Structure formats: C-alpha cells, structure tokens
C-alpha cells in the first residue's frame, strides 16, 4: 500500500468509528426538528468519560434515570439531595442539551418515610405540593419538560390504585399538574406511561385520562409513550401513529420517552436486525406526526441498561453495544432521520 491509500484507509476507519459531526444523531435530529434523547445514570456519568462522550456526541436531550425520583432526591421529609441532578444539569448545559425532569408523581421508588408515615389526606397533599414545587422551582427555566405523572392507568385501562390515589384521591393528578405549572409556567408538562403506545384497552384508558384532564383545563401539554418493548410484542407502527394523531388532536404532544427493545440472550445478527427495524418503525411514526417532538431511549449503551436486571435472560436493548459501538439499530435510526430531511 502506498502512503496515499494508507492515509485514505486511516481516514476511512476513523470515519467508521466516529460519525462525522454532521452525521451524528443529534445533528440529524436537529435538522429534522426533533430532539433525540437518552436516559442517563449520573453516578456512571461521573466516572466513565467514554459514556459521557458518547452521550454528548449523539444526543441533545437527557432524562435522569433515577436522580429526580422521590427516594433519591427527597430521602427524608426535611432533606433534599440535589447533588446528582445538579451534576446532570451542569453536564447538559455544557453540551447544549435539554433536560427532561423525571418524575414528580409516581407510585414507585418512594422513600419509607413517606410510605410508612401514616399521613392524612391533607398532609399528603402538602407533602406532594412541597415536593413538586421545590423541584420545579429549583430548575425553573433550565428543565424544559417534566414527566409530571406516570403510570396512573392499569393494564385494563382503568385508573391504577396506588399510594397516591388511595392517599389523596383521584384528583391527585390534576393537582400535580397545577402545582408544577405554578412553579414553572413555561415548562412542558407530561403524562408518561408504558404499554399504551399502540391500540388497546390501556391506550384507550390513557387517552380518556388525558382527554379528561384537558377538558378540566389542567395544564398538561404532552403524553409520553415509554416504548419498552420486545420484538414479539412491539406495537404496529400504524397503530402508534394513529394513537399519536388522536392525542395530537386533543392538543397534546405525543413523545417517545423511554424506548428500548429487549432481546433474548444471547442475541444474534438476525435479532439485532429485527431490533433495528422496530427502532426505525417507531421513529418513523414519530417523524410522521408533527406534534411528536422528541424520541428518547432508556439508556445509550448495553453496558448500562436496566433490562438484564428487571427482565432476566433479556438484554442488548439499546443503540450502542457494551463497547459503545453503534449497532444496526443506531444505523437504522440514523438512516430514518436522514431520509426525513428535505
């Protein structure tokens, strides 16, 4: 090989390992006028520079995986711990990324002081209002959107009975949105759920819930379709699109907020290709509906993902492998973004 072909080979292999700046997901998403996001684990962000670099290169929206959950950020009744969330905000702002706050009222990851506290309805309302307004006020103007409420609908489409619904009553959802809006009138406020992305009873239940909130004049602006799926149970793209359209017709922006596509382990090339197809289909549904403003995955690299722990035997669910290399799903997302550009 002469020096010229050696140099060409070097440039080529470099381009293969690292997408050119104009070809990263975040550059293409920006051109397509949507946000591309990932959930981030802050302790990992603080100790793994390659992970931080990957996030900053490819994404322009971050959701803290745990840092703003009740038990993490509000571990005692009179004590908040913002150390992780503050670190995330600093990182995001240094890299010109938006932050999605996650999550204000949810029935999981609640601290014992709260669930074991035997509080009255009025006390719980005070606690929840103080919690919401402390978080939203602290980051007013810096956290552009909040997952205000999550997973309030059961699998059959009826309201889910939870710590909050039992303790406060069905109006806890409307109250949560109103309190968040008081604290930051500019923030986009979202209801976020799983398993109702396409059609079916749960999707209808979510639709009815958010329609009712709209009719009451509750300040809700977005619905998050989480999209934790497996190849075999992924919703049909046409159903996701139709669901997004009916939510948009209510004046709500439907976003894909937590996508991952779990594969039975060990996975193989065919499964990775099928996974790429599911990612492409769901992104295309979002791109087809003008009100879908963001597409986020629940993590970035298979090295750090909640799937193996919560779904034993499953894994490799994200866009980058354990060595941070782009997977077929990454390329399918990139192609779909590119194809959507004028």
Answer for which of 172, 306, 320, 330 binds ligand XIL (CB under 6 A) is 306
**78 CA to centre of own chain:** 29
Q: Is 208 exposed, middle or buried (0-12, 13-18, 19+ CB in 10 A)?
A: middle
Catalytic residue among 58, 65, 151, 253, which? Answer: 151
Beta carbons within 10 angstroms of residue 340's beta carbon: 18
**Apex 289 CA angle, 340 and 235, nearest 5:** 100
Cα 309 to Cα 226, 305, 315: the distances in Å are 18, 8, 9
Q: Which residue is nearest to ligand XIL (CB)?
A: 306
Interface with ligand XIL in residues 186-225 (CB under 6 A): none
Asked if 150 touches ligand XIL (CB under 6 A), the answer is: yes
Region label for 236, one of left (φ > 0), alpha (ψ between -120 and 50) or beta (otherwise)? beta
What gap in Å lies between CA 150 and CA 179, rounded to an integer? 16
Answer for which of 58, 197, 253, 258 binds ligand XIL (CB under 6 A) is 258
Interface with ligand XIL in residues 159-188 (CB under 6 A): none
Q: Active site includes 23?
A: no
Asked if 92 touches ligand XIL (CB under 6 A), the answer is: no
Minimum distance between the CB of residue 202 and ligand XIL, rounded to whole angstroms?
14
Q: Active site includes 123?
A: no
Q: Which residue, 253 or 337, has its beta carbon nearer to ligand XIL?
A: 253
Asked if 317 touches ligand XIL (CB under 6 A), the answer is: no
Minimum distance between the CB of residue 311 and ligand XIL, rounded to whole angstroms?
11
Interface with ligand XIL in residues 43-72 (CB under 6 A): 65-66
Minimum distance between the CB of residue 3 and ligand XIL, rounded to whole angstroms?
49
Minimum distance between the CB of residue 306 and ligand XIL, rounded to whole angstroms?
3
Q: Which residue, 210 or 336, has its beta carbon nearer to ligand XIL?
A: 210
Q: Is 200 exposed, middle or buried (0-12, 13-18, 19+ CB in 10 A)?
A: middle
Catalytic residue among 258, 309, 322, 323, which? Answer: 258
Q: Could you list the residues that contact ligand XIL (CB under 6 A)?
A: 65-66, 150, 226, 258, 306
The residues that are catalytic are 151, 258
């Amino acid at each position: 090989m002469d020096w010229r072909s050696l140099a060409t080979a070097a440039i080529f292999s470099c381009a293969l390992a690292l997408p050119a700046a104009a070809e990263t997901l975040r550059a293409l998403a920006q051109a397509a006028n949507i946000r591309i996001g990932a959930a981030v684990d802050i302790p990992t962000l603080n100790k793994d520079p390659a992970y931080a670099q990957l996030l900053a290169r490819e994404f322009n929206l971050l959701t803290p995986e745990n840092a703003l959950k009740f038990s993490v950020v509000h571990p005692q009744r009179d004590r908040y711990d913002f150390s992780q969330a503050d670190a995330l905000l600093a990182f995001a702002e240094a890299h010109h990324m938006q932050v999605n706050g996650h999550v204000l009222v949810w029935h999981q990851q609640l601290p014992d002081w709260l669930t074991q506290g035997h509080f009255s309805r009025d006390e719980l309302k005070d606690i929840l209002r103080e919690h919401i307004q402390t978080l939203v006020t602290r980051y007013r103007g810096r956290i552009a959107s909040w997952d205000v409420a999550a997973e309030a609908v059961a699998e059959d489409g009826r309201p889910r009975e939870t710590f909050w619904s039992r303790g406060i009553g069905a109006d806890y959802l409307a109250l949560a949105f109103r309190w968040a809006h008081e604290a930051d009138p500019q923030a986009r406020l979202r209801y976020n759920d799983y398993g109702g992305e396409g059609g079916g009873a749960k999707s209808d239940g979510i639709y009815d819930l958010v329609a009712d909130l709209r009719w009451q004049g509750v300040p809700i602006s977005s619905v998050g379709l989480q999209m934790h799926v497996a190849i075999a149970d992924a919703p049909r793209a046409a159903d996701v699109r139709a669901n997004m359209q009916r939510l948009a017709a209510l004046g709500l922006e439907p976003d894909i907020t937590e996508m991952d596509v779990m594969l039975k382990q060990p996975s193989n090339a065919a499964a990775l290709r099928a996974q790429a197809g599911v990612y492409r289909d769901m992104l295309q549904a979002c791109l087809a509906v003008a009100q879908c403003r963001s597409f986020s995955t629940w993590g970035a690299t298979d090295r750090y993902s909640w799937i193996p722990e919560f779904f034993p035997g499953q894994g490799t669910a994200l866009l980058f492998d354990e060595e941070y290399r782009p997977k077929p799903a990454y390329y399918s997302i990139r192609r779909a973004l590119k194809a959507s550009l004028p």
